[in-house]
Amino acid sequence: MTDIAETKLFIDGTAQAASDGGTYEIHNPARPSELVGRAAAGTLYDVEQAMRAAHAAFPAWSALSYAERGDMLRRVAAAITSDMAEVEARARLFTREHGKILRETHLEISRLGERFVQSAEYGDRLARDEIIRAAPNDTIITRQPRGVAALVVPWNWPLAILGAKLPQALMAGNTVVVKPSANSALAPTMTLHRIAEMLPPGVVNILTGSASRIGDAIIGHPLVRYVNFTGSVDVGRHVMKVAAENITPVTLELGGNDAGLVLQDADLTGDAFSRLYRAAFMSTGQICFALKRLYVHRSRFDEVVEGLRAELDAQVVGDGLLPETTMGPMNNAKQLKVVTDMIAEARGRGQKVLELGQVPDPDLYAQGHFQRPTLVIDADPTLSVVREEQFGPVLPILPFDTEEQALAMANDDQFGLASSVWSSDVERAVRLARRIEAGYSFINAHGPSAQDGNGPFGGFKKSGIGRNFGYEGVVQFQGYHSIAGAPGLLG
């Protein structure tokens, strides 16, 4: 019998139960009858307390120098990554509540630590003001933090996505109220507690609970000066409307339907198929910037299908805690249905659908939210698996004849998050990548294993507004402030 995990809210420096004592349950997606733990179900009263605490902590936190805040972020990074026993226990809990395999859970935890260090390293650059000396005035162009930032993260990569916004918000001088997703709240919340405990009271506050109960109260709170949301288009649209009430600026990182273009001259030797596989199927395909549509030059089409078929068929689908498992279940029944409906539609339209991978425990597979890794070969471009975001382990493959045709198909989409070009001619690949409507493009790779957080990340079109990560990801949590005086007056 494994322990039942319990997590609390964190407000003004104190771990606490919800004001009415409420909790909700989280179950294991590999065996949904197994209770993994209970998280506090925050109330409107808790939201109010968290906002007041964050607002009260802001003057002192924002008055610290970048070097001082950077030192604290470095200490936080060490604290969340150095205790190997704690990291292992947290990783196992996260795999049980989320489904993803242990190796990927560890990757998330280490990523979060790395982003704290990375944000701290921007300190010197952030501290430099620009001065324009030109009649009739000299102008210092400086920036100031915004105040209380509301940070909302989805269930799919909660810790890595926190790494795209939490250290940046803190480095910029903001205090924060964080809302993790109800679908993976236990281990992420424990890690957040560890972070919050190391900072002055009120700097990091944590609210778990039902979005329908507390979501709008967080986003629309008059003390919130910035909203940074990662999640779906529908909720993103709603968040933007609620934030509009107080003219609160938003960053929205929404869905993606990333195209990958395999050119005639692509080098598919070595681990190329393993990279293509991970691009699309890592975390059971539940990644906003996973490869979601693969366009292949007709001369290489059969080779790519065969290479990917072999790669997918070698995967072991099962409980993410088992060392032999390479693909866990999907996180929840709702997302599983989106994917199985898309596969059923493709089958119903007479398309060639290959459901691959090994299933050592069919009973477990039948119980849990599992879907084997699947290819839709020569997919009809009107299928929903091509037009929409699948966010699960199914990849459509489509042939093209010319580069222009491939580009037109890649750009004929409502989303513009990431993309990739696969070619042995890197100049040609970069030239093509520049013409893809996407906020981020990879050459001969795709997805989180090829992203280091140095470049700004985000999307065009319905993939969202604004950019997380990098120096720009810190600056978004600030506003420009110009200070002007007669020539020579400001020194």
Q: Which stretch binds ligand NAP (CB under 6 A): 195-203, 248-256, 338-346, 440-448?
A: 248-256
**For residue 15, what are its two tokens?**
């771990």
Residue number, 232 or 351, with CB nearest to ligand NAP: 232
Residue number, 209 or 256, with CB nearest to Mg ion: 256
154 binds, among ligand NAP, Mg ion, none (CB under 5 to 8 A by kind): ligand NAP
Q: Which residue has the tokens 């701290």?
A: 120
**For residue 327, what are its two tokens?**
């693909």
* Cα 172–Cα 255–Cα 458 angle in degrees, nearest 5: 35
Residue number, 389 or 437, with CB nearest to ligand NAP: 389
384 binds, among ligand NAP, Mg ion, none (CB under 5 to 8 A by kind): none
Q: Does 257 bind Mg ion (CB under 5 A)?
A: yes
N residues, the chain: 491
Q: Does 446 bind Mg ion (CB under 5 A)?
A: no
Residue number, 113 or 255, with CB nearest to ligand NAP: 255
- Whether 252 contacts 278, CB under 8 Å: no
Residue list 374-433, contact with Mg ion (CB under 5 A): 390
288 flagged as catalytic: yes
At 384, phi and psi to the nearest 5?
-65, -30
Q: What are the C-alpha distances in Å from 451 to residues 9, 393, 394, 445, 468?
A: 31, 20, 22, 9, 13
Q: Which stretch binds ligand NAP (CB under 6 A): 75-83, 180-188, 262-270, 374-382?
A: 180-188
Residues 6+ apart with CB under 8 A from 252: 229, 230, 236, 239, 240, 464, 465, 466
The C-alpha atoms of residue 313 and residue 322 are separated, in whole angstroms, by: 18
Residue from 41, 72, 152, 177 touching ligand NAP (CB under 6 A): that is 152
Any bridge partners for residue 230, and if so which? 253
Residue from 216, 258, 319, 413 touching ligand NAP (CB under 6 A): that is 216
Residues 265-304: x where in contact with Mg ion by CB under 5 A, - otherwise, as a string: ---------------------------x------------
The C-alpha atoms of residue 370 and residue 413 are separated, in whole angstroms, by: 28
Residues 104-143: x where in contact with Mg ion by CB under 5 A, - otherwise, as a string: ----------------------------------------
Q: How many residues bind ligand NAP (CB under 6 A)?
A: 31
Q: What are the C-alpha distances in Å from 102 to residues 56, 90, 111, 282, 326?
A: 39, 10, 14, 12, 9
Q: Does 284 bind ligand NAP (CB under 6 A)?
A: no
Residue number, 46 or 413, with CB nearest to Mg ion: 413
Three-state DSSP at 137 gives strand
User: Which class for 1: exposed (0-12), middle (13-18), buried (19 or more C-beta within 10 A)?
Assistant: exposed
292 binds, among ligand NAP, Mg ion, none (CB under 5 to 8 A by kind): Mg ion
427 flagged as catalytic: no
Q: Which residues bind Mg ion (CB under 5 A)?
A: 257, 292, 390
Q: Would you please indicate which residues are annotated as catalytic (active-site) residues? A: 253, 288
Q: Which residues bind ligand NAP (CB under 6 A)?
A: 152-157, 161, 179, 181-183, 211, 215-216, 218-219, 230-232, 235, 238-239, 253-256, 288, 389, 391, 417, 464
